[in-house]
A and B are shown apart, each in its own frame.
Chain A
Amino acid sequence: MFDTLLELFVFDVQNSLQRFAPELTLCVTVVAMLLVRLFNLDRHVPSYWVALGGTLISFFFAFTDFNMLKMESFDLAQQTIFTGLLVFDGFTIFFRLFLLLFLILVIALTVLSGIPDNEDGADFYVLLLGSTIGMMLMSSANHMLILFLGIEMASVPGYVMVGFLKGRKKSSEAAFKYVVYGAGAAGVMLYGISLLTGLLGTADMVEIASRMNAVFAGSESVGMGDATARTVILALVMILAGFAFKLSIVPFHFWCPDAFEGAAAEIGGFLSVASKAAAFALLARFCVAFSTGQADNLKEFYMYVGIGIGAIAALSATFGNLAAYAQTNVKRLLAYSTIAHAGYMLMAISALVVVLNEPAGDLFARLDADGDGVLTRQIAEQRYQYDVPELYRSDIAIIFDQLGKNSITQAEFVEQAKDPAVVHTLHRGLGAQALEGLLYYLAVYMFMNLGAFAIVALIRNHIFSEELEDYKGLVHQTPALCICMLICMFSLVGLPPLGGFVGKFMIFATLFEAGAVHWSMWAILLIGGVNTVFSLVYYIRVLKVMFLAERPADARPALIPFRSAPSMYCVMVTVPVLALGIFVEQLSYTARQVASILF
């Protein structure tokens, strides 16, 4: 008995370690850097080489996995590793690749801007890599415990990095605020997790859906009158508050402007993209875990949660954009901009939750255009096709196939849809579409936001300031950087033909589709659209200062020629922003396939 268990365990560990290769590589790199430091080798081998080398090897592993995924045309089944704590699937692979690519870009940026000097290099890169390991854990979490551990593992090095500019008071203050705020948020989240797991008796996310069904099996509909439901709501709000902290969503965003202003711009860029991407990956997994295969009584309940998320998203976008107006510090302005962008991306999550929890009766009514209560197969397939991507065009057929008839009444439809497999299939089309938009947005966001922060960092190295006022007329001195800034900012606004437009368009398109499920999505779409206009103003203000103002004679010069490594770096980061705005199909196809893996 024990032998069998041991054998199973050994096998599982072996298999898991193999799947865990990128993270392991990063761990080894961390150890290697510490050793290098210990033996004073860092005088000969700059630590960034070690970090970069380790990251590249790790990237290579992730890339191999990705290629395997592509070769098997994204058909890889989900498999759990480490006895179900982590999940290894296409989604994991995608985010690993994403995070590692981003890590490489950030390391390259730090080498260029020289923010950790050689003395501190090892410390800095240990933190950077450690944080990334945490994020990668987040993206593959399958268990509440890992969820929490991942978030903390990503956050703690982040606290230190924010305070990395040791000599500066502002930096230390920011780090301190970030630590305390983070601790508070973690406490709340942990509380929520304990409530939920206590209630359900499991922390495994796969189990959640069925346990929830079991808990609410008796009740006709789930409402606030029910004490269990209140507990669940409170737990969910608390867990989501934890997420909101990581995502800097209003009203849990307070740390963000202060931390970003205090930290170096490189750190700001890293935190704003990587930790958000990882948190979104985790949130998506979390939401899908809750929303898969639910009975109708819970669906309505979750739908309201989804709308609540949407409301917060809209609030966040609006708040971020409006608050950015009054900023005079570029980093702070970008901090508010990241709050707003988190809001846009959260809208995709909101749409995801809403479309996944559409009650079967509503879906029937939506498809049955003439309202006579009977739906023929032909009409159903036709109307269903308008909503979902072609990957899932035939999903509606499952209802008719199971019934063996070519027309169906509402009662039969609802009855059929009670089967978890069926309900899962029916909703995955729109869900995948929502996630596709999110993934695309994240990919573009990686480049455009990193581009903006990188430019701020590189300019800071010359003029020793991040105040907007000191950016006057920079275009005459560093044309390449300014033009890259222009492209990044226009992309952040969402102007075609840049990548930001495509990402935003995809999310808004999903919201539009989701509006058919619940009207409030249309309201959120409207707020999102208006926000785009709001955001234009403050981005343009930065560009106006950079391009139209005269450079004061006494200003510090920032002469960065076009043919220099900083300019080249910025161009390299900016070109994908343009390319993703023009060549959409390649990435969107991958994103769609990866998104579909979750369902």
Chain B
Amino acid sequence: MSSETLTIEEFQEIGKALRFLLMVAWLLPLAGFAVEIFAGYWGHRRSKMASFLAVGCIFIGFACSLGALIHWGTLTRWGHKTVAESQHHEGKSEGEGQTGILDAGKLPVEFVALADKPTAHKDADNDDHHTTSGGGHKDAHHEGEHHDDHHGPGTPAFSGGFYLLGSFGDIEIGLDYYIDSLTLIMFTMVTLIATCIHIFAIGYMSDELVEDYVDHHAHTSDGKHVHRPGRFYRFFAFMSLFCFSMLGLVLAGNIFQVFVFWELVGICSYLLIGFYTERKSASTAANKAFIMNRVGDFGFLIGLMVIVTYLGTFRFADHEVNGAAQPGLFTMIRGADGHIDLDQTVDVETGNDVNVVLLKGVDGETLTNANGKNRTIPYWLLIVAGLGVFGGCVGKSAQFPLQTWLPDAMEGPTPVSALVHSATMVAAGVYLAGRFFPMFTTEVLLTIAYIGCITLFVAATIAVVATDIKRVLAYSTISQLGYMMLAIGIGGWGAGLFHLVTHAFFKSLMFLASGSVIIGCHHEQEMPRMGGLWRKMPITAFTMLVGVIAISGLAIPGISIFGEKIAFSGYHSKDEIVATALAFMQMNEQHFLLFLVPLITAGITAFYMFRLWFYTFAGEPRDAELHSHVHETPWVMTTPLIILAVFAAGCAIGGTHGPLWLGLLNSEPIGLATGLTGQLSGIATPSHDAVHAVHSTAGMYALIVAATGAFVAYLLYGAGVIDPGDIKQQFVSLHTFLVEKWRFDELYDAMFVRPVHIVASWCVGVDRYVFDGLIHRTARTTIDVSRWDRKFDEGIIDGLVNLVGNAVFSAGRSLRVVQTGSLRQYIMFIAVGVLVLFVLLFAVFPS
């Protein structure tokens, strides 16, 4: 691959086009929301208009996103064509020249070079070797064996601002954008899945198309069912808002904007989880989701404060503030090869012995403050910032220990679950962890990895015993998110986000399939009552099977067609994670659990997913009566299933040579390809080569484990060779423990809820007896005083006022006497008046 270059003008043209397309895709759902919520409220309750509008908006959004992706791909040869180094600075200066108009709202595309990126091996024949990619335009790095597919000086992201909300000194807050391949892929993925889910929801929500909806799950105080108007339009309005929020989050060019949309996503999930707001369980679940997220967001806020205090900007990319160049967050922390510049001399002022030197640009120049000293941030505060932001991700992506809200979120309508679990809410957490990766130190990364590791195991074990079809999927989501976090934590940035995308497809597919099952079974969600459904609903069953195979990571080894393995998307992404974990374990042997746990869990995953499928679709019907009513769902619901099944199977085609992987790698943070090493912790992340070296080994392990899991599931639930009931009897205490979800809810109840209640009751006591007593006494005293005051007031003051008033009034009344009405007197008064005035003047006038 020869190194091709673009001129800066071409590059900016691309950026403008991308900006425009993504902006349309982002804002259309908002417009849709505005129209739907008002038009729906005043409109006809039986109108499907809102849904068509919502689908239209998100579909056009998808078209724009896809268009943007293709536009970017063709013009930059999927990120291979970049701006030549010689033009780099020119571009910079031009960018600076244009930022003058930045405030005016007409924003040019700023060219941001994130310095050298490791680049992927595009050619298929490269996969078997040991290229050190990475390196960069710095000559020092050129000495390694450099593969010839070396690219221009940096993979650029397009960034700039839409609208400046306000500037506070040197800190500007605005609506910015940051577009790289990750943004583009996320946009396309989110809009595609959202489109499918929207279409599916037209069918799923159709029972809301009535003037009088009877909610059989909600009761009024007198035991009757709740009657309410149908809320079809409202559902779609919220969905549109949800999509808008998620897209805004992905497009955001600064961490503050991320936070704003983060909260918007939160409120949308609250609205949608609590959609059946009359049901107590739904409103409780909505509250739980919201509150748990607030716990995480608290950390996020702390992170934001640290960032703005020490780094003085929110924006990811370099930009300009008040005419001066302001490096972005990533530039400041990470040097050209991804290292963090540490200054280990003790700072006399603060006493911090380890400080991170903030960089001005990729060429290693440092930022200085007014006295010419290097600007720094204490290392521990960088860790705090990282952990804080990750805290937000923990809440949003339902990681341990804030995972308990996600299963409860099943109370929302199933399309919401599909959206929350695949493309939007939970994806946001992982996305942010990925986007913010350069800010994480290795200590933070290790924390992330362990959190992910715990989560994925705990959730998988609970999923094994869950019987509610949606809950199995919910726990599976948590578990898969754990995989992603783990991957990011061990330096498998690409692997984690790869899995995010593939998972989004197959998980939305499975959720929609389960929704189809629920509709088909007339709102029955318990798997023990199902069984043998595939005959009645074949499309649902087989699309679901695609999803199950994908998530389990099954593949047919040894055979390949056109050089491609026969495997669904999940195989590729999970394989990559396991490989990264294996490589990581080889480099950091004390952290062997980070490999073993996900590997074993891969087996568990396969087990519970096949368990779900066999339980639901295979075998004989366990509830004949239910079975007799089951029907396949209409085409509006099955078509999205088929579309998603195609993507679930094929989106990762080509694996680590496929377009998705390569596209994602384009945005990989600096230095990851060669591996990062924490200067203090000594933890090292594996380089691409290291991962590559163990790829096939890891893939084999994973496949064996997964196949075993699937096979066991078949034995237990498909073929019925072993009775699962027996096993349950054997491990009854373990089973109960798992059914009670590791007793997290009870633990939190005991740890937080009850202590809070106790403290609250103390507060009530103090309030009632101490404060109220005081207040009552004060009140009594006040009353006594005011009683006296009243006597004084009524007797003396009022008496005085009345006296004056009466005097004035009687004076006024007496004036009537003058006005006698007698004309003769009036005329006399003229003469008298003139005379009297004359005399008076005569009297007072100085003679």
A322 touches B811 (CB 8 A): yes
B830 touches A252 (CB 8 A): yes
A300 to B847, CA, bound (A): 12
By a CB distance below 8 angstroms, the chain A residues around B823 are: 176-177, 180-181
Interface string of A202-221 (1 = CB under 8 A from B): 00000000000000000001
Give chain B nearest CB distance to A350 CB in angstroms.
14
**Contact of B731 with A by CB under 8 A:** no
By a CB distance below 8 angstroms, the chain A residues around B844 are: 304
A237 touches B827 (CB 8 A): no
Give chain A nearest CB distance to B310 CB in angstroms.
49
Interface string of B807-847 (1 = CB under 8 A from A): 01101110110110101011101111110111011101111
**Contact of A121 with B by CB under 8 A:** no
By a CB distance below 8 angstroms, the chain B residues around A221 are: 846
Tell me whether A326 and B812 are in contact in the complex, defined as CB-CB below 8 angstroms, given that A181-B826, A254-B826 are known contacts.
yes
Give chain B nearest CB distance to A352 CB in angstroms.
19
How many interface contacts (CB-CB < 8 Å) are there between A and B?
Answer: 89
A184 to B833, CA, bound (A): 12
**Contact of A397 with B by CB under 8 A:** no
B808 touches A322 (CB 8 A): yes
Give chain B nearest CB distance to A530 CB in angstroms.
10
A176 to B826, CA, bound (A): 12
A319 to B825, CA, bound (A): 18
Give chain B nearest CB distance to A507 CB in angstroms.
23
Chain A: CB-nearest residue to B835: A237
**Contact of A130 with B by CB under 8 A:** no
Interface string of A317-330 (1 = CB under 8 A from B): 00101111110000
A323 touches B833 (CB 8 A): no
Chain A: CB-nearest residue to B819: A257
Q: Which of A255, A319, A325 has the most CB of B within 10 A?
A: A325
A223 to B845, CA, bound (A): 7
Query: In the complex, which of the residues B826, B833, B834, B842 contacts A255, with contact meaning CB atoms closer than 8 Å?
Result: B826
B830 touches A323 (CB 8 A): no
Give chain A nearest CB distance to B822 CB in angstroms.
9
**Contact of A258 with B by CB under 8 A:** yes
A300 to B827, CA, bound (A): 33
A240 to B821, CA, bound (A): 24
By a CB distance below 8 angstroms, the chain A residues around B808 are: 322, 325, 534
Give chain A nearest CB distance to B804 CB in angstroms.
11
Chain A: CB-nearest residue to B820: A254
**Contact of A496 with B by CB under 8 A:** no
Chain B: CB-nearest residue to A234: B838
Give chain A nearest CB distance to B609 CB in angstroms.
71
By a CB distance below 8 angstroms, the chain B residues around A76 are: none
Tell me whether A223 and B826 are in contact in the complex, defined as CB-CB below 8 angstroms, given that A322-B812, A325-B808, A325-B809 are known contacts.
no
Interface string of A123-139 (1 = CB under 8 A from B): 00000000000000000
B847 touches A225 (CB 8 A): yes
The majority secondary structure among interface residues of chain A is helix
In the complex, which range does the number of interface residues on chain A fall in?
A: 35 or more
B834 touches A241 (CB 8 A): yes
Tell me whether A325 and B834 are in contact in the complex, defined as CB-CB below 8 angstroms, given that A233-B841, A254-B819, A257-B819 are known contacts.
no
**Contact of A188 with B by CB under 8 A:** yes
Give chain A nearest CB distance to B365 CB in angstroms.
57
**Contact of A308 with B by CB under 8 A:** yes
Tell me whether A252 and B812 are in contact in the complex, defined as CB-CB below 8 angstroms, given that A223-B845, A224-B847, A308-B841 are known contacts.
no
Tell me whether A241 and B833 are in contact in the complex, defined as CB-CB below 8 angstroms, given that A180-B827, A233-B838, A325-B813 are known contacts.
yes
Chain A: CB-nearest residue to B832: A251
A188 touches B813 (CB 8 A): no
Tell me whether A326 and B815 are in contact in the complex, defined as CB-CB below 8 angstroms, given that A308-B837, A308-B841 are known contacts.
yes
A345 to B832, CA, bound (A): 24
By a CB distance below 8 angstroms, the chain A residues around B832 are: 251
A323 touches B845 (CB 8 A): no
Give chain B nearest CB distance to A149 CB in angstroms.
20
Give chain A nearest CB distance to B29 CB in angstroms.
43
B845 touches A224 (CB 8 A): yes
By a CB distance below 8 angstroms, the chain B residues around A233 are: 838, 841-842, 845
A233 to B819, CA, bound (A): 28
B816 touches A323 (CB 8 A): yes
Chain B: CB-nearest residue to A181: B826
Query: In the complex, which of the residues B811, B818, B845 contacts A304, with contact meaning CB atoms closer than 8 Å?
Result: B845
Tell me whether A323 and B847 are in contact in the complex, defined as CB-CB below 8 angstroms, given that A188-B830, A233-B841 are known contacts.
no
B838 touches A237 (CB 8 A): yes
A258 to B836, CA, bound (A): 24
A252 to B828, CA, bound (A): 11
A238 to B834, CA, bound (A): 6
Tell me whether A251 and B845 are in contact in the complex, defined as CB-CB below 8 angstroms, given that A322-B812, A326-B813 are known contacts.
no
Tell me whether A237 and B834 are in contact in the complex, defined as CB-CB below 8 angstroms, given that A225-B847, A304-B844, A308-B841 are known contacts.
yes
Chain B: CB-nearest residue to A230: B842
By a CB distance below 8 angstroms, the chain B residues around A154 are: none
B841 touches A304 (CB 8 A): yes
Interface string of A274-310 (1 = CB under 8 A from B): 0000000000000000000000000010001100100
A188 to B827, CA, bound (A): 11
A258 to B823, CA, bound (A): 10
A469 to B830, CA, bound (A): 34
**Contact of A185 with B by CB under 8 A:** yes
List the 10 closest A-B pairs by CB distance, nearest first.
A325-B812, A322-B812, A251-B833, A323-B815, A254-B826, A223-B847, A326-B813, A225-B847, A224-B847, A224-B845
10 extra A-B contacts, CB within 8 A, seeds A237-B837, A251-B836, A325-B809? A188-B830, A188-B831, A223-B847, A224-B841, A224-B845, A233-B838, A254-B818, A323-B812, A326-B809, A326-B815
